[in-house]
Chains A and B, each alone.
Chain A
């Protein structure tokens, strides 16, 4: 959601505090006419849209921070804020903008309309915010097993797998599956960068990993973009598509499209194109991949792109192609892709029925194939409204983001249509959507 415009604040602010009666409006005028120097009337607007009135005590330009005094329940509180946390400060009637507004990643992962920014604004955001450590960085302990070999070579020296020795294997086995370890994991990677200062090849790999982690684990687009740019990722590296997505999520679609305007692209570009509404290009790209070697994945992604765009018949035909394609990398993959495609077709066929306006009150359960097993959801409907979608059973290994994010999207949109899959958890998201559609269809009258 886009934060409200500052002028709207000022108007409603005064209505809120004075207002109510003519007398108090008059009183308000008098208050306004009084010399401003008498009162602490400096206004700080934070990046998340919050405003605070208080007194500017000291500005330290070189440290890019300032001290601000706020009255809080009879106490006077002096807090220090850095420029990158603050959108603007109004002092003696003059407004200074310190950091341009960011659409916060947590509230803005829907495909509808990311806040729009010029290329210069995006670059500025990347350079100001992206280059700084996140809030939690200093308070996160550096925590890793003592046996870990911190001179992480580019290729594992030994044949075997040892997640207590090899950093990459440690990241895969221990950091990725545990959201509680993501912060300390990222801190470890930052630590490795300092250790690999003088080894350019290792440093480049580290930077790329850091960028990927900001993107995949934290959906922190300015920081992800900063580090991916530092690593100079180029199309057709898969990470370059992450960078393109960062640009788009930060509000500049053109920058993303420019990056994708290349001769060869990795498979994950199909999903991004689909999410960005470039359905035809997504289909075209998928077609090219299907001819090469990966028909299952390509057709599935093409189907998803059509589905996001609401082109359901086409989506069904692509999913059908997945079912018709004979061989995959191995038995397990074939089983999973076929299961997914079947579920998608079923869910699309049920979409009409899954219209919540036609669903009777009650709780409905259904399940669908996820990444590593069935995902079961329970949908509660009251008064033709989706009250709650809850994942009741799943064995998904990673990326729990999908479980809360996708369900929240369904409740918000009151529909299973046009739900944007959570990054890196496409399959889980898809399974939740499919299962919800099935569950709603059960209750259709």
Chain B
């Protein structure tokens, strides 16, 4: 096995030498592309490609493929974040045409349904046209989809496209009134947000988060449960056995962003530079150790430091307000609080470390990188230096990861196999080969590195660092827990979580605080929690229903969650998953307080299709006989707790109109609340089944007791014989 450098070394042909034939791949490429792009191998004159790369910079010239992969990954990450997770490209599907007044004439032996109407609209009746049949009178009952098989003036013959149920068939024959034909299924549950995300998500939107191994690893440890993204992390770790730390060198968008920051800004300021060695070079291991210790204590802090969550949150708090502000108006950007500031400062600090040294974060601090460094212990390939080395030090100078020792051999735990050193080596002494390749190697410790395997000082610093990590991790865990959410106390703050969130205790252990769900959430229903639950709830998503309500057609938050803290529910499940319960404030609600008529919440709930708020008459005036006076009092809202899912649309409406616009109230009179009995949060299993179980539990107790259809005596005389007088009538008339 030999991984060639990305750009072959170029030198003039010496007279006595015969040129080795280029590799097979190279021969093909040279056949396809113009001759002028390639170097002249006899004279050693560089071609167009090499001259262009040289212009861009030395690291691109020495390892162009690596820079290309880095750029592609950053662009992919930005594309997924700003386009795939951008919900506003969704457009509701129009209802299409609808035609009323169709009367069923006949069902014939060949299963054709013949309908008639007074005047057939032009759009109805194209051959094999798909039409949806419903009965607007009988509760808008939907029968199914039919195909047009024949058309005459005002008539049409339809053939069911799927097997009709006997019930639907009876309904067709027995229902009163006329039928409606429509191009789309009537009263269908809208799904445009969910569909739009699915359409755009040819790669999972949370791909980079899922392949950050620390995300899934620490989540699984903290919650003591299986996390689906562990498989992705395992895959990338397997890849990184072949290409050691390849994630850091090639894929990580934070690394690329840091490269850009270093190139554009940090390299111009020299005064903060620090040396290549010092106590800081092993921070990443201690940080990793600390976060894992905290995770073992059930507190998830790895999201504060793991690479991809850091860059996702940075883009969320800096880029997303710009994106939505500029495209949808600045009034739609929620305000910032201490939690935002804290995250932005942290992100700025990560970039700012570049002033100390290029990619200081990646080399010394990043705990995700530390996972790969440890993974490097099992590496199959590595960088080796041959004896042709002339000690020119070019490779040490260009190495972005400080992975080359003073004797020019490799610090194997840090090398990302980026091959930049190979490109600059004047003697082709650097090779990237299998680990056990020992051919023609350079002598080690020449010049001397002055590095000892583990000296006294090294041992002391290791001991001190490990102790600090363990103590730090534990104390962070203890502090977070004791000043945290305090879930056993029912009076503490309980935020409304996104639909499909796992139980609160597990949620706090599984939410990595990456911020992906905020980005995918239309209208910013999900907003960043600050310190309401102490450090334990920091940056977790919570519903701010004063701001907006959860869209009935959207299930994006669960789809983009990398850890499964919000389960990826299909829309059918999500629409019955209770994330909270609307509570009417009886002292402020306008009709309940006898102030004025208002039914905003009911209209909003019905429009969304939940029909979870119904009316009750209140403040009815009674006349002398105790009978109600028609027209007195108001109708007030009553929330049906078996139907309310806590989407918060009612609260949004009440707040927008009664508080913001009319200034009648100081806060919304209907508010969604979470907590025991107000929300259903399952680790696994179906919400539909849960609802069904509840429904069955409710029914039988109510249905007990005789409720037969009873006609009291005296009964009127039985049907008189009017039209049929036969004595032997088969129907008994």
Query: Which single member of B105, B160, B163, B717 contacts A127 (CB below 8 Å)?
Result: B717
A207: chain B residues at CB < 8 Å are: 712
Contacts of A79 in B (CB 8 A): 166, 169-170
Asked if B723 and A100 make an inter-chain contact with CB atoms under 8 angstroms apart, the answer reads: yes
Which stretch in B396-404, B521-529, B612-620 binds the other chain? B612-620
Inter-subunit contact B615/A177 (CB<8 Å):
yes
**B699 contacts the other chain (CB 8 A):** yes
Question: Complex: how many Å from CA A176 to CA B110?
Answer: 46
CA distance A91 to B730 in the complex (A): 10
Q: Are A373 and B614 in contact (CB under 8 A)?
A: no
Q: How many chain-A residues does the 8 Å CB contact rule pick out?
A: 93
Contact at A106–B631, with CB atoms within 8 Å?
no
Q: Which of A92-150 contact B (CB under 8 A)?
A: 96-98, 100, 104-107, 120-121, 123-124, 126-128, 131-133, 135, 137, 141-144
Task: Report how far A197 CA is from B178 CA in the complex, Å.
Answer: 39
In the complex, what's the smallest C-beta–C-beta distance from B92 to chain A, in angstroms?
A: 17
Contact among B169, B709, B719 with A72 in the assembled complex (CB-CB below 8 Å): B169
Interface of A is mostly: mixed
CA separation between A161 and B616, bound complex, in Å? 13
Pick the contact of A124: B111, B155, B172, B719 (CB < 8 A): B719
B617 near A163: Cβ-Cβ < 8 Å = yes
Residues on the B chain within 8 Å of A131, using CB: 711, 715-716
A398 to B599, CA, bound (A): 12
The distance from the CB of A411 to the nearest CB of chain B, in whole angstroms, is 10
B157 — nearest CB in chain A belongs to which residue? A16
A124 pairs with B107, CB closer than 8 A = no
Given the interface contacts A180-B614, A187-B707, A190-B709, does A49 sit within 8 Å of B105 by beta carbon? Answer: yes
Given A83-B731, A124-B720, A161-B622, CB of A395 within 8 Å of CB of B707: no
Whole-angstrom CA separation of A89 from B170 in the bound complex: 16
A-side contacts of B628, CB under 8 Å? 169, 172
Is the C-beta of B278 less than 8 angstroms from some C-beta in chain A? no
B108 touches A17 (CB 8 A): yes
Query: Of A161, A197, A203, which contacts B620 at CB under 8 A?
Result: A161
**Contact assessment for B164 and A128 in the assembled complex, using a CB-CB cutoff below 8 Å:** no
A50-58, A281-289, A435-443: which one contacts chain B?
Answer: A50-58
Most buried by B among A17, A64, A156: A17
Contact of B177 among A61, A106, A336 (CB under 8 A): A106
Minimum distance in angstroms from B700 CB to a CB of chain A: 9
Q: Is B453 an interface residue (CB 8 A)?
A: no
**B625 surroundings in chain A (CB, below 8 A):** 155
Docked Cα-Cα span, A181 to B616, in Å, equals 11
Enumerate chain A residues within 8 angstroms of B611, measured Cβ to Cβ. Answer: 180
Q: Are A48 and B175 in contact (CB under 8 A)?
A: yes
Residues from chain B with a CB closer than 8 A to the CB of A39 are 109
CB of B87 to closest CB in A, whole Å: 27
Tell me if B635 and A96 are in contact (CB < 8 A): no
Task: Enumerate chain A residues within 8 angstroms of B711, measured Cβ to Cβ.
Answer: 131, 230
Distance in Å: Cβ of A366 to nearest Cβ of chain B? 20
Flag whether A178 is at the interface (Cβ < 8 A): yes
Question: In the bound complex, how far is the Cα of B722 from the Cα of A100, in angstroms?
Answer: 9
Q: Which residue of chain A lies nearest to B106 when distances are taken between CB atoms in the complex?
A: A51
B712 partner residues in chain A, CB cutoff 8 A? 193, 197, 203, 207, 230
Interface hits, B553-591 → A, CB 8 Å: none
User: A135-B174, A181-B614 given as contacts; is B635 within 8 A of A397 (CB)?
Assistant: yes
In the assembled complex, B710 has its CB within 8 A of some CB on chain A: yes
Which residues in window 182-226 of A have CB below 8 A to B? Answer: 187, 190-191, 193-194, 197, 203, 207
Q: A197: which B residues are within 8 A, CB to CB?
A: 710, 712
Partner of B702, one of A104, A141, A194: A141
Query: Is A358 among interface residues, defined by CB-CB distance under 8 A?
Result: no
B34 on the A face (CB < 8 A): no
What is the CA–CA distance of A142 and B724 in the complex, to the nearest angstrom? 39
Would B597 and A97 count as touching, CB distance under 8 A?
Answer: no
Residue B22, interface by CB 8 Å: no
Q: Contacts A9-B105, A61-B732, A75-B163; is A50 near B617 (CB within 8 Å)?
A: no
Separation of A371 and B611 alpha carbons in the complex (Å): 24
Question: Looking across the interface, which residue of chain A has its beta carbon closest to that of B137?
Answer: A106
A173 to B715, CA, bound (A): 33
Determine if B33 is an interface residue (Cβ-Cβ < 8 Å): no
Q: Once the chains bind, are A96 and B173 in contact (CB under 8 Å)?
A: no
Taking a contact as CB atoms under 8 Å apart, the answer to whether A96 and B733 are in contact is: yes
B708 interface residue per 8 A CB criterion: yes
B719 near A70 with CB under 8 A, answer: no
Closest to B113 in A: A50
Q: Which of B105, B111, B137, B635 contacts A50 (CB 8 A)?
A: B105
Counting chain B CB atoms within 10 Å of each CB, the highest count among A97, A123, A395 belongs to A395
CA distance in complex: A30, B719 (Å): 42
Instruction: Write the nearest CB–CB distance from B302 to chain A, whole angstroms.
Output: 49
Residue B505 interfacial (CB < 8 Å): no
Q: Is the CB of B708 within 8 A of A194?
A: yes
Chain A residues, CB < 8 A from B732: 61-62, 64
Q: Is B152 interfacial (CB-CB < 8 Å)?
A: yes
A62 to B730, CA, bound (A): 11
Query: How many angstroms from the CA of A47 to the CA of B729 in the assembled complex?
Result: 20
Task: Say yes or no: is B706 at the interface (Cβ < 8 Å to chain A).
Answer: yes
Once the chains are docked, how many angstroms separate the CA of A124 from the CA of B722?
Answer: 8
**B705 interface residue (CB < 8 Å to A):** yes
A77 to B160, CA, bound (A): 15
Whether B733 and A50, one on each chain, are in contact in the complex, defined by CB atoms closer than 8 angstroms, is no
Given contacts A177-B615, A203-B712, contact A51 B631 (CB under 8 A): no
B626 beta carbon closer than 8 Å to chain A: yes
Does any Cβ of A come within 8 Å of B132's Cβ?
no
Does B703 belong to the interface (CB within 8 Å)?
Answer: yes
Also in contact, A85 and B174, with CB within 8 A (given A79-B166, A161-B622): yes
With a cutoff of 8 Å between Cβ atoms, the chain B residues found around residue A203 in the complex are 712
For the complex, give the distance between the alpha carbons of A276 and B705 in Å. 44
Contact, CB under 8 Å: B706 / A194: yes
Q: Does B176 contact A (CB under 8 A)?
A: yes
- A46 interfacial contact with B, CB 8 Å: yes
Contact flag A141-B617 (CB < 8 Å), given A83-B731, A96-B730: no
- A177 to B709, Cβ gap below 8 A? no
Write out, one digit per residue, whether chain A residues 301-345 have a CB within 8 A of any chain B CB (1) or not (0): 000000000000000000000000000000011001000000000
Known: A104-B176, A141-B703. A372 touches B104 (CB 8 A): no
Residues of B within 8 A of A193 (CB): 710, 712
Q: How far is the CB of B172 from chain A (nearest CB, A)?
A: 7
> Are A96 and B174 in contact, CB atoms less than 8 angstroms apart?
no
B360 to chain A, nearest CB (A): 61
Cβ of B333 under 8 Å from chain A: no
**Complex-state Cα separation, A372 to B635, whole angstroms:** 10
Cβ–Cβ contact B716 & A127, under 8 A: yes
Tell me how far the C-beta of A70 lies from the nearest C-beta in chain B, rounded to whole angstroms. Answer: 7
The CA of A121 and the CA of B598, in the complex, are separated in Å by: 47
Q: Are B720 and A120 in contact (CB-based, < 8 A)?
A: yes
Q: Are A142 and B703 in contact (CB under 8 A)?
A: yes
Residue of B625, B626, B631 with highest tally of chain A CB at under 10 A? B626
> Do B178 and A107 touch (CB < 8 A)?
yes
Q: When the two chains form their complex, are residues A143 and B173 in contact, meaning their CB atoms are under 8 A apart?
A: no
A178 touches which one: B152, B164, B174, B614 (CB < 8 A)? Answer: B614
CB within 8 Å for A133 and B155 given contacts A79-B170, A121-B722, A127-B718 = no
Q: Does A59 reach chain B (CB closer than 8 Å)?
A: yes
Distance between Cα atoms of A156 and B364 in the complex (Å) = 81
Which of A74, A155, A395 is in CB contact (< 8 Å) with B598?
A: A395
Q: Which residues of B contact A96 (CB under 8 A)?
A: 724, 729-731, 733
Q: Give the residues in chain A near B631, CB-CB below 8 Å.
A: 332-333, 336, 371-372
B 295-307 binary contact with A (CB < 8 Å = 1; else 0): 0000000000000
B133-171: which have CB < 8 Å to A?
137, 150, 152, 155, 157, 159-160, 163-164, 166, 169-170
What 9 A-B pairs have minimum CB-CB distances, sorted nearest first? Answer: A61-B732, A177-B615, A173-B617, A106-B137, A104-B176, A50-B104, A106-B177, A133-B709, A52-B107
- Name 7 interchain pairs, CB-CB below 8 A, sorted by A: A49-B105, A50-B103, A51-B107, A59-B731, A144-B702, A163-B617, A372-B631
